[in-house]
Structure 1
Amino acid sequence: HLGGLNDQLQFADGLAVPRYQHALMPTDTILRDLCSKLGLQDELIYQNARAGFVHNDAIHPMSNILDFLSFPMLGLRDRFRLGRMILLTRGKSNWNDLDRLSAKEWLLQVGGNEAFERVWRPLLEAKFDGVYDNVSATYIWAWLNRMSSVGQVPQLSNTIGYLKRGHFSLIEALANAFLKAGGQIKYDVRVREIEVQNGQFQQVRTSEGTLEFDSLVVAVATPIFAQLLPAPYPDYHARLEKSKYLGLICPVLVLDRPLSNFWTLNLTDPAYPFATIIQTPHAEKSGHYIVYLPRYTAPDNDWMGVSDEDIGVAWFSHLKKIFPAFSEDQVIHFAVSRSRYAEPIHSVNMLQNKLDVQTPYTGLYLANTAQVYPFLATSEVTVSHARQVAQAVQAHHPHPVSVAV
């Protein structure tokens, strides 16, 4: 089955929505160029990127300088201190010194205790399931630079983009282009083990037998790769096991009316079961609005085993605290998606622990979003990384060979 985190949900009435929300920022030129090459340029649409915070169940806009100056969660002095920190971050191109600092250490240094306690600590607790002490300061640097890109392209200022049919249309177009070029895609085949011998990749053992290739690019989360690979090199496996990920539980609602006029709202109360509210109109069904209520968790968090029905009860009861007029009668569709390894965690001193694309085994490559550090694992960065991986493999194999991904 194609898609993964870029998959779509198909409801009984034929309506399709992206399983997870993926946004294009105005500066995502690599992704827009790929869409154009695949004939998807007319499917790119843009909407207002109005953002805000939810604090004490009340919404506070945070989309422009006036919103910032009137932000009630901080006093005037701390507002200016926070603004100075954001400006310094946007102008900081050398991030290497941040690799050695935790996010908490750096935020306290440059933003002060008040801003940390009122703004950053709740956001970090919600994002990292309460465990953020070892998260690198580069995460904040990358996140602030990513979000500030909304206003950096004049003709697309203060907008975010997305594909009408979601990122699944991009995956589908890539698959069709791959097949047209002579590639093959195998569906419903479970990989059981990657066999190596004498420091070299040999073959892939699957539910349908063994498959042989000259080279193999493994494009899965690092913990899954570690499970598939035998351990003749203990040092390498020890490095694989250091790679930590966030899981994701993401309820999606299709409503018959908008919840608000905000694209995204960040919650500062970690007691809520979700940390963000993201809303977009359905691009092909007028009068339908898609709302995502994601919760990042540890991969083994108990919420992973909670039923969709119980998640709906918990999430809806908290949603009503922010939007008292919301009721279940407005819900046309409801579904819950889960991923145990949705996003890599970039820890302090990540530079020395970052895994190379080339593994210790000749002919075996690892390619995943843990390698895009210090940047966030966005679609833009992922496509750029994929191109670099393809070039690296091609450099090792200048003549035509069989390569599996």
Structure 2
Amino acid sequence: MMHFFLANNREELIERCRAKVAQRPLRSATSQQLQNGVPLFLDQLIQTLRTEQTSKPMDSRRISAPSGGGASISEIGQAAALHGRELMALGFSVDQVVHDYGDLCQAMTDLAYERDAPFQIDEFRTLNRCLDNAIADAVTEFSYQRDFAVADRQANEMHEQLGFFAHELRNLLQTATLAFTAAKTGDLSLYGATGTVLGRSLDGLRDLIAQSLDEVRTASDASAQSRTFPAADFIAEVKLAADLAAQVRGCVLRVSAVDPRLAVRGDRDQLYSALANLLQNAFKFTHPHSEVTLDTYAVSDRILIDVKDHCGGLPPGNAERMFLPFTQNGEDRTGLGLGLSIARRSVEANNGTLSVRDVPGTGCVFTISLPRYATAAR
């Protein structure tokens, strides 16, 4: 009988299934994968076959369910569903879920042929019913888990996009408010430096909203508007708004002179946003009455923009984690923890890199690295 054959050769069949799994690309037969897979199914199949040889053969349906599965809950169905969930968590595909059970059928057939073990037609029918129900339940659960994972990922992406938009909107509005307050308090003309900051912020708000609307219409990211512009002019523009923010935070901003021959190529708004986020992060975490420095210089074929603060340094292992969305490391929890993530994404969209270097006991140095260009002769 088949259940005697399976019970006597259980370990051999499991080992053959392990060998088949190991032969597939990018697969390994882990104990986690097999826990609710072949070994448990094999035990349940043996129990089903034994029950069908008793005076109450229909009791086997509790173990393996009737043909077609139906609405009943069976032991094989529950174990197969858990197996499908485990394979999804391990990153396997749906065809690999099916293969796991096909491996056992193939191993049984090969071993039965080698041992010349005859099986009854009814036993084959039971085997096919158990395999069919197990595969169906495993694939169904796998599909549910995959759909849940896709839905979660899409929701997280949407929340991240909304967070980026809100963060940039707040930054521009905050700068505009600072400029307006400074102009009103000091009775300043809107044609001076403060007025320039206010105008730049309002233009940024307009462009950010327009870009967001374009993204909604096209369901894709807006392409970067690349052009070449003098690095010195760019840094001077950033400094106008940063000076106001530094005053509010009670720190000093020092900006070194920039070689007028250096030029940057990229989307000016994206790079402005990236550098503004780095400076705001520095003002937020640097110690009161300390200094934040902004240096721009060339090294070989790269232009480097350094933002150095006096936050006291980073705890071990926190450097790269700082760039993760919605991550906040300091005690000041204002904002969404998106500034550094936005900055890195903006820099990388312009063929650059953004890195951080810890200066123990002193602070951090954030460095934007961009391809080097030269300004046109004036």
> Shorter-chain TM-score: what band?
under 0.3
More strand by share: 1
TM-score, scaled relative to structure 2: 0.25
Q: Which of 1 and 2 has higher RCO (CA within 8 Å, sep 6+)?
A: 1
TM-score (norm 1): 0.23
